[in-house]
């Protein structure tokens, strides 16, 4: 028993080196928090879409240059939320980070969901996009767990790809052109790579007490995947 404790403390409780029971507990907590974030996201957007406040927020966000400002604010809020979620001194601050990010995702999704819901088979489209998203997420997650491969090498690629994608999105907003289905398919691939990266990080680069931060990273990737899959189901319009 003492040797087990020494082993755990020596390696700083990183999931990759933790005892099997500790690692399994960390993974369960991470996916439980991910499921909770998705549930809160679904409840919150459902409430907002069915209320006048949600419609007002969506219209305010998409008027003129407002969407570019919203994206910039969202990036700032995301950075703050991720910093809080990675706090090593305050558990409440970690949960505040996850909560803040979930609320921010719910708000930024409003314009897209209103457009999707307004179509003739809007609810069916949203449901189908959600099912495909969860299916792809499960498949990509399985790849990481089955291979045990460390996909951290994707980090720099995702960083560069993210800046390129933001450049295209900003150009589309500034010059008024749609990015279309091809861009949406590319971003689905980008989101898939992000899921591989975040799942790999969960297994290899997070401590067993960082389940909140790990779940936030996974939730961000799932939300990005859902965004572009929904656009594909809607015909690739922005």
Averaged in consecutive runs of 10 residues, what is the pLDDT profile of the chain (238 residues)?
Answer: 37 69 90 95 89 79 73 89 88 93 92 80 84 94 89 91 87 75 91 94 87 94 94 71
Q: How far is CA 34 from CA 26, 148, 172, 173, 213, in A?
A: 12, 21, 32, 31, 10
**Would you tell me how many other CB atoms lie within 10 Å of the CB of residue 59?**
13
* 3-class SS of residue 231: helix
**Pseudo-torsion of CA 106, 112, 115, 120, nearest 10°?**
-90
Q: What's the angle, vertex CA 58, arms to CA 53 and CA 59, rounded to 5?
A: 100
**Would you tell me how many other CB atoms lie within 10 Å of the CB of residue 223?**
21
Between CA 194 and CA 205 the distance in angstroms is 15
What is the pLDDT at residue 160?
Answer: 93
Residue positions counted in the chain: 238
What is the pLDDT at residue 120?
Answer: 62
Q: What is the pLDDT of residues 148-163, one digit of tens each?
A: 888 989 989 999 998 9
What is the pLDDT at residue 136?
Answer: 95
What is the pLDDT at residue 79?
Answer: 92
The two most distant CA atoms of the chain are separated, in Å, by 65
Between CA 49 and CA 45 the distance in angstroms is 6
Q: Which two tokens stand for residue 203?
A: 């297994």
């Amino acid at each position: 028993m003492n040797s087990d404790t020494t082993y755990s403390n020596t390696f700083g409780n990183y999931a990759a080196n933790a005892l099997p029971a500790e690692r399994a507990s960390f993974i369960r907590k991470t996916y439980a928090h991910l499921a909770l974030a998705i549930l809160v996201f679904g409840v919150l957007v459902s409430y907002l879409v069915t209320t006048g406040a949600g419609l007002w927020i969506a219209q305010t966000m998409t008027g003129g240059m407002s969407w570019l400002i919203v994206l910039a604010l969202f990036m700032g809020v995301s950075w703050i939320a991720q910093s809080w979620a990675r706090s090593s001194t305050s558990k409440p601050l970690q949960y505040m980070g996850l909560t803040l990010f979930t609320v921010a995702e719910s708000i930024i999704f409003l314009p897209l969901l209103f457009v999707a819901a307004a179509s003739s088979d809007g609810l069916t489209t949203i449901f189908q996009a959600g099912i495909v998203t969860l299916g792809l997420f499960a498949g990509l997650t399985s790849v990481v767990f089955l291979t045990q491969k460390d996909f951290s090498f994707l980090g720099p690629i995702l960083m560069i790809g993210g800046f390129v994608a933001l450049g295209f999105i900003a150009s589309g907003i500034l010059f008024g052109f749609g990015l279309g289905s091809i861009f949406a398919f590319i971003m689905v691939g980008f989101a898939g790579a992000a899921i591989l990266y975040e799942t790999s990080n969960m297994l290899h680069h997070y401590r067993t007490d960082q389940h909140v931060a790990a779940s936030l990273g996974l939730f961000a990737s799932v939300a990005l995947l859902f965004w572009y899959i929904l656009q594909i189901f809607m015909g690739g319009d922005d």
